[in-house]
């Protein structure tokens, strides 16, 4: 029985990845804060594919909660595949107008929690000599744009962590992949714009953005490669996007 631990599974890319991996026969651990969403997803996957899901309703910034859970249920942290999808951006204000509490949130979730959860899953993978860690990086880990300093810094950090981890586990059989999307239509922009749905919708107008399912299929492709193949990084953008700032919109 193959298993995947997916963070950020209540929405967007994490949720779509749960669907894509369940369709390929993996059983799941689904982590996010919104338990009702995780429950509904688990029920729909059980019905569609017979997937067994375990639900972890937790804020990934809760280091003590994660440690307690790892002690109480160590098998949760021994998946074949870990997908680190929980993440967010807040605002597009210039740095000089930014909110340090929001910077904390972005860095704590995108960087520190990703590190902590990966750290918890690695010992079992290393003992087994197999396992796959998939990071959700971003084109924001390759380029920087105005008003994106902190989010881009967090995704540059994810890129460095991915490269460093790959070297640290080198020779163990554990694979490390970064999937780095451009514009994907999810709840990401709504969260970034603090609930402003109208402003969020504008991000995706006038061109065809990626869907969460597009990215999930990319992740599933990486995971389904034979054990001797490690896809290191995939940068995937809508055809209408050429760089982090170049998007061809109609009208």
Binding mask 87-126 for ligand NAP (x = CB under 6 A): xx--------------------x-----------------
What gap in Å lies between CA 107 and CA 149, rounded to an integer? 11
**Dihedral sign, CA of 23, 8, 80, 232?**
positive
Spatial CB neighbours of 165, under 8 Å, sequence gap ≥ 6: 118, 133, 176
Q: Which residue has the tokens 């904390």?
A: 104
Contact in structure between 210 and 184 (CB atoms under 8 Å): yes
Q: How far is the CB of 123 from ligand NAP (least distance, A)?
A: 22
Token output for 106? 């972005």
Question: Is position 148 an interface residue for ligand NAP (rule: CB under 6 A)?
Answer: no
**Using the rule CB under 6 A, which residue among 28, 41, 78, 136 binds ligand NAP?**
136
Token output for 209? 């953005």
Phi, psi of 185 (to 5 degrees): -80, 105
Contact in structure between 11 and 18 (CB atoms under 8 Å): no
Token output for 205? 């107008």
Spatial CB neighbours of 208, under 8 Å, sequence gap ≥ 6: 238, 239, 240
Catalytic residue list: 151
**235: DSSP letter:** E
By beta-carbon proximity to ligand NAP, the closer residue of 14 and 91 is 14
**Using the rule CB under 6 A, which residue among 3, 4, 6, 13 binds ligand NAP?**
13
Enumerate residues 162-221 that contact ligand NAP by CB under 6 A: 181, 183-184, 186-188, 191, 212
Site residue total, ligand NAP (CB under 6 A): 28
Q: How far is the CB of 75 from ligand NAP (least distance, A)?
A: 21
How far out from the chain centre does Cα 183 lie? 14
Q: How far is the CB of 37 from ligand NAP (least distance, A)?
A: 6
By beta-carbon proximity to ligand NAP, the closer residue of 73 and 127 is 73
Binding mask 16-35 for ligand NAP (x = CB under 6 A): ----------------xxx-
By beta-carbon proximity to ligand NAP, the closer residue of 102 and 130 is 102
**209: DSSP letter:** P
Question: Is position 127 an interface residue for ligand NAP (rule: CB under 6 A)?
Answer: no
Footprint on this chain of ligand NAP (rule: CB under 6 A): 8-14, 32-34, 59-61, 85-88, 109, 136, 138, 181, 183-184, 186-188, 191, 212
């Amino acid at each position: 029985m193959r298993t995947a631990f997916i963070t950020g599974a209540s929405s967007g890319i994490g949720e779509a990845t749960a669907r894509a991996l369940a369709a390929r026969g993996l059983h799941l651990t689904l982590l996010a804060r919104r338990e009702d969403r995780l429950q509904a997803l688990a029920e729909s996957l059980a019905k569609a594919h017979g997937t067994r899901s375990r639900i972890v309703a937790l804020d990934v910034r809760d280091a003590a909660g994660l440690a307690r859970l790892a002690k109480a249920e160590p098998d949760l942290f021994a998946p074949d595949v870990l997908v680190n999808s929980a993440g967010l951006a807040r605002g597009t204000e210039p740095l000089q107008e930014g909110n340090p509490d929001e910077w904390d949130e972005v860095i704590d979730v995108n960087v520190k929690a990703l590190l902590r959860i990966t750290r918890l899953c690695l010992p079992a993978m290393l003992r087994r000599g197999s396992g796959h860690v998939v990071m959700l990086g971003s084109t924001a880990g390759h380029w920087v744009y105005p008003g994106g300093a902190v989010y881009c810094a967090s995704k540059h950090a994810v890129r460095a962590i991915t490269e460093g981890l790959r070297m640290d586990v080198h020779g163990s059989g554990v694979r490390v992949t970064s999937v780095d999307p451009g514009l994907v239509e999810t709840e990401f922009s709504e969260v970034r714009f603090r609930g402003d749905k109208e402003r969020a919708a504008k991000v995706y107008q006038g061109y065809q953005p990626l869907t969460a399912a597009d990215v999930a299929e990319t992740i599933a492709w990486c995971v389904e490669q034979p054990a001797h193949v490690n896809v290191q990084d995939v940068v995937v953008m809508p055809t209408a996007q050429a760089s982090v700032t170049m998007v061809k919109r109609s009208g």
